[in-house]
Structures are given as structure tokens and as C-alpha cells.
Structure 1
């Protein structure tokens, strides 16, 4: 495929069905699900690459926030990034990603994240591993903590502001979790292709709720498994009530599955070590370096200055020397400085998120800095391992 002219742009109304045919083939989901998926993202948030009138690739953009250092940083979540099979290896995906990232940078979007099916094309565009998505499981009977005093009451299985408020109280303290848009909440309550029935419960009285849980029952040969879609437990009593409530399904429920942090603290409460973990890594791209560093939170007690030199071959506005000055939990980024800490835009992603420390990245040859700069970077970006409990 030599001398092919790709054109990047926003999908037009007359192209929506054509894009749907491509996406449903790429991701092997039923054509009747495309209108729901496509409209959830919103037609204005679909991007395509085409040759003439033929769409050869496309993606969707979820406009979200992501919590780092206790602050919500605007983030573009890329979803359904697909290229027609006959156009793979042609460079279409690179054109699509480059066009999207240049557009996002122009509008001042600090971050972009995604779940990769393959890493190579995304690394070429400046993405790198930056956090974990963890699926835990345990036998239902093993979760019983004997707490049945706190009320657990059924609620409607659909979005309501109370859930968003409880979620925010939990999520803003967890690096990597999403500041959810309405579209992400709709995904949680989507029954999916198997039309699973969803159940939702509030933990604690309506006057003083302490959490919630949303789950479905997935049939097995002898009973069912519980697939937890989302939960929050804000107090120690709510934690114990949540797990006991799930365990109380054990007459027929075999396994309970839930999304949680890489180190699940709740496992400390269970009598035996029956929890099992499956994990994958999501990727992050620093789109607007100054905005990303400015909007992230930092430890309030820190007062430090880090001189960095960054290389970004795609978004060249991010290339250069910068001084990151942090005081009172906030940051200011200014051009210039000594460039003590040298790294490319990919390596900045796991440093920024806290997945890897500056010392770990230096040991891999991804950061070049003297010991004092390494120490400063480690203090600035220290924190728990970043994770996400939402997929998109």
C-alpha cells in the first residue's frame, strides 16, 4: 500500500453506519449494539481515518477525569480503536492516533488513557503502561465476616446522584480512578449482550448512606457466580457488611468477582487466603505536559523543585526543559531550567501516575538523572499503585 493518502477527521452523520460496521467487525460484537455504544460516546466524539470515501479506521473518545494526587485531571479515554483488517499494517492506526492527539493537545487536554489490545502502535504514539486493572475473585462462603447490623436496602439499578456522591468520596483518594462521566455510569448499568439482570443495594440508611453495591448473577452448572459491577464502602462497618452480604448468597453462589486495587486491603479481614487476582495494565499519554503537571495534586507537606528535560517526537510542544515547582500540594510549571532529569514522554507517564518510581525507571535506562534529582522525583510522585475499576 504505497502512496496512500489518509484523511483524519470527525465522523459525519452519513458515515455513522459505515463506522459501526467496521467497529462491530473489529471487536466482534453484535451490530444491534452499535447504536447504543455509538450514541453513548456521542457522534461528535468519534474520529475516523479514511481513504477516499472508505472509512478504514476509527475510535471513540470518552471525556473524563482521572484522579492523581487527590485531584481530578481532565482525561480523554480512547475506546474502540480499530482498523479494518485489510488496512492493518498500512499506517492507518498511527495516522488516526496522531490526528486525535494533536486535536486533544490543541484543546488543552492534559491526559489520554486506554486499554491496549497491542502496545506497539500506542507506544509509537507516546503512550506507556501507567496503572493496573485488577479482577479479584473468591469463593462466596469465604467472605462472611458476620456483620449484619447495618441496613442493606434494594434500590433501582440505574444512575442516581447519591451513587455519584458516594463514589466521589471514595475515588478521589485512589490514584488512577476515573472521575466518571454519565457515559461511564451508563456502562455500569448496561446489562450487556447476555441481558444480565442487575441488582443494586444501598448500604446504610438513606439518611446516612455508607456505600452501595451493584452486581449481576451469572449462571454456572450448579448455581451462579456474582459479578460485582461497582461498589463503595466508606466505613469499616460498611466494609464488613458488604462482604457479609455477598457471602449470604453462598447457598447457590459459588464465586464472587470484583474490581479492586492491586493490593486488596479487604483480604486482611477474611479468615483464609482464598482471594485470587487477574490483572492487566492500562496505558497513559501525557498530552499537554504543563497542564498535566499543574493540575495533578501533590502531598501538601512537599516543597520541591524538579528540573526536567522531555522529548516528545509527536507533540513537539512538550519537548524542552521545564521546572516543576511544588508547594502546598499544588504545582507550577515554567519553561527553562537545568534539565537535570532527562526522559521521553513515554517514560513520563508511569512516573506521573506513580506506577514506577524515578529510580526504577532509571534502572531500566528510561530516566537519566543524578541521585538528587531522582530523590526529588520520587518524593513528588510517590503514592499507592494507580489502578482503575472501570473499562472503556
Structure 2
């Protein structure tokens, strides 16, 4: 199988394989998909596996960032992984994912994230579960009264792409969030062109929501704000639809402030869409990440990464004053041993005790790493 970037004029050729993998794609839905794919196609980030000129597999690498304790880390968002039904069971998916990892490294991304359709395939090439996209349902009436003061808001469109990206980035940085992703300006422009979404921009906040498919309720796709005043105003705007929408389905952080603004909270049903993480360039990923302030930790590591050998070997990990370093060192028989799955889970804040009991981390003294990597990762985007 030859894996290469698709040319824009070849993109229609993936429609059939997408339909066979995910279901029929009506004409209008396909036109929208082609429009949204334009930035990645032009950047050479839509890939296909070819066998004798026939497309038998596809995958996309979005150019993104991911926030970790207030710092943005370059990220490859892996999406649209498909294998033709008649080609499944031959190792095509594993070959495709290995090729995409190499290309993510070539683009200079220290991290890669995906939403798995199957855990087994992605674990076989070093991915591990790290966080989730969380959805809750909130009575619309409960949101109508959360506002304290009026805030200057305006509708946002494609020409606001750069400002939207900046406002969202400042909000995640200030909150020292872990997990949310950021899109580049061309992708934001493409997303803000969608008529179905209602987008509002404040000086320190952004809201995107729409009606659900049956037009009986609202769905908040993203609501972020750096101040209480703007946070209340944006949620109250959603709540203003209480006369026609009984409920709001909202994508929120596990500790989203809105959950503490509501007057009443009873039983909450949370829908989680799990995502998986992979370190592509381990030293760069450790250095780019933010860490809890006031925490100091160190450990000798032995990493074994068959797919990305540059990550393999003996390392010294040091974390201090919110900074991390991973540097080559001599062999150490007492090193903490882990593969790419264990390294990804540790990076995402999974406690060392959990990793030991699952066999993802072995040997050495690693207890101090749990507070150093402490995090509750979440995302507000499904891709």
C-alpha cells in the first residue's frame, strides 16, 4: 500500500469508502464536507492508502494545539480513519496508522489525539485512553436567570476567525485547562461559515450553539469565558430560548463553572466520548507541556516505542517550577519502564498506581510523577 497526501481533485474519490465505513453521505452533506476539508487538503493533510490506483484507506491529520496546564502544545488531530470493508483484517489499518504517525512527526507535532472506533487497533500502535468529551443536559429555564450584568456581545462570522481563536486560547490559558484543542485560523474560518451554528463573541468569551436535529432542544457546542460576568451572559443567552426549548445539551468540562451557577442540581447523566493520546516526540511533548506550580519531581525512564524508535531508550525526566525536561542518559537498571501507551496515560494524568496495576508502568520509583502530571483532561471538539 502506498500512503500519500490526496490532491484536492482526488477528494471526491473518498466518498464511496466513507459511505461504506460510516453510512450514506447525502449530496448536501458531502458538499459541506468538501468545503470543510478545503484547508486540510490545501495543506497536504488528507491522506489515502492506494493499491494499484484504488483508494483502500484514508486518514486526516488536522493542524491543532492542545492545552496542558495553560500551555499550548502542537497537536495532530487524527480523523476520518477508514479501511475498505473488503480490505479489513489484513493489517491495513495498522499500516495506515504507523504511516500517519511518521507524517505527524514530519509535521513537527509532539502529540497526536484521536477518537477511537476501536481501541484494539490504536493500542497496537501505542495510543492510550486519556480523556473525554463530556455532554450533560441542563433545563433551559435554569440558565435563563444566571446573568448578573449585560455584556457586549456580537454575532461572529468567518471574518472573526483569528479573534475567535485568540479569545478561546486566552480562556484556556487562564483556566490552566488540560485537553481542549485549538484550531488554526483557516479551520476556524471554515467552521464559522456554517449557517446552522449560532456564534457569539465577547471580549473574553465565545459561544457556539444550534438546534438539535428535531428542533426541540438546543445544543451548546462550545462556551468558554475568562470572567464570571461574560460566562453568565453567554449562558443566559442560551437560556433565553426557554420558551421554545425545554432542555440544553451542552459540551462542558468536568468541572465547568456553569455546573456551579445553577440554582438546583440533582441527578446528572453525562455522556462521555473517549479520546486517545499518543506522544509523537517525547522530549518535545514533555518540554511543551505545562505542569502544576510548586511541584518538583524526577525519575529515570526506559521507554520502548517500536513505532517511533526516536522515543526509545534511557531518559532522565525532571519537572520543576512548571517546566519539564526529558534528556538522554546512561543505562539505569532501576529505571521506570513504560511503552508509548503508558507514557501517554502518564502524560494525561493517569495516576502511577493505576498504571502499575494495569502493567503500563513497571519498576523504578515513580510515585512523585502523579502530582507532577496531575490533570483532568477534556475536550470540547469531536473530530
- State the TM-score, normalized to the length of structure 1: 0.87
* Matched-pair contact (CA < 8 Å) for 1:27–1:80: no
Q: 1:183 to 1:119 in 2, by over 3 A?
A: farther
In 2, distance between residues paired with 1:357 and 1:184?
Answer: 35
Distance in 2, Cα, partners of 1:125 & 1:102: 12
SS in 2 for 1:138: strand
Residue 352 (structure 1) aligned with residue 347 (structure 2): yes
CA distance in 2, matches of 1:97, 1:236: 42
Sort the Cα spacing of 1:42 and 1:316 in 2 relative to 1 into closer, same or farther, 3 A: same
Partner of 1:299: 292
How far apart, in 2, do the equivalents of 1:265 and 1:88 lie? Answer: 44
Take 1:262 and 1:351, find their aligned partners in 2: how far apart are those partners? 19
Q: Give the 3 Å change call, closer, same or farther, for CA 159–364 of structure 1 in structure 2.
A: farther
The answer on whether the counterparts of 1:171 and 1:178 sit within 8 Å (CA) in structure 2 is: no
Contact 1:152 1:201 in 2 (8 A): no
- 2:380 counterpart of 1:389: yes
Query: Matched residues in 1 for 2:101 and 2:124: separation?
Result: 12
**Matched positions, count:** 372
Q: 8 Å contact 2:111–2:277 — kept in the other structure?
A: yes
Q: Which moved more, 1:70-79 or 1:265-274?
A: 265-274
Partner of 1:258 in structure 2? 250
Q: Which runs of 4+ in 1 moved over 6 A?
A: none
Query: Residues 179 and 147 of structure 1: is their aligned pair in 2 closer, same or farther, counting only changes over 3 Å?
Result: closer
In structure 1, the residue matched to 2:82 is: 82
Q: What is the Cα deviation at residue 13 of structure 1?
A: 5.3
| CA root-mean-square deviation | 2.3
User: Residue 112 and residue 159 in structure 1: after superposition, are their counterparts in 2 closer, same or farther (change >3 A)?
Assistant: farther
Residue 206 of structure 1: aligned partner = none
Deviates more, 1:311-320 or 1:12-21: 12-21
Counterpart position of 2:371: 379
1:304-343 to 2 correspondences below 5 Å = 304-337=297-330, 338=332, 340-343=335-338
Paired residues of 2:151 and 2:229 also in contact (CA < 8 A): no
**1:59-117: CA deviations, max 9, x gaps?**
11101111113211111111111111111112111111111112323454211111111
Residues 39 and 307 of structure 1: CA distance in aligned 2, closer, same or farther (over 3 Å): same
Q: 1:132–1:387: 8 Å Cα contact kept in structure 2?
A: yes
Deviations 1:22-73 (A, max 9, x none): 2344233334344224313224111221211111001111011111132111
Structure 1 stretch displaced more, 311-320 or 123-132: 311-320
Change (3 A) 1:293 1:219: closer
Q: Which runs of 5+ in 2 are unaligned?
A: none
Please state if 1:240 is matched with 2:232.
yes
Which runs of 5 or more residues in structure 1 are unaligned? 1-5, 204-208
Match of 1:41 in 2: 40
Superposed, 1:160-179 pairs within 5 Å as 160=160, 161-172=162-173, 173-179=176-182
* Distance (Å, rounded) in 1 between the aligned partners of 2:101 and 2:297: 30
Distance 1:148 1:23, change over 3 A: same
Partner of 2:16: 21
TM-score (norm 2): 0.89
Q: 1:10 touches 1:48 (CA, 8 Å); kept in 2?
A: yes
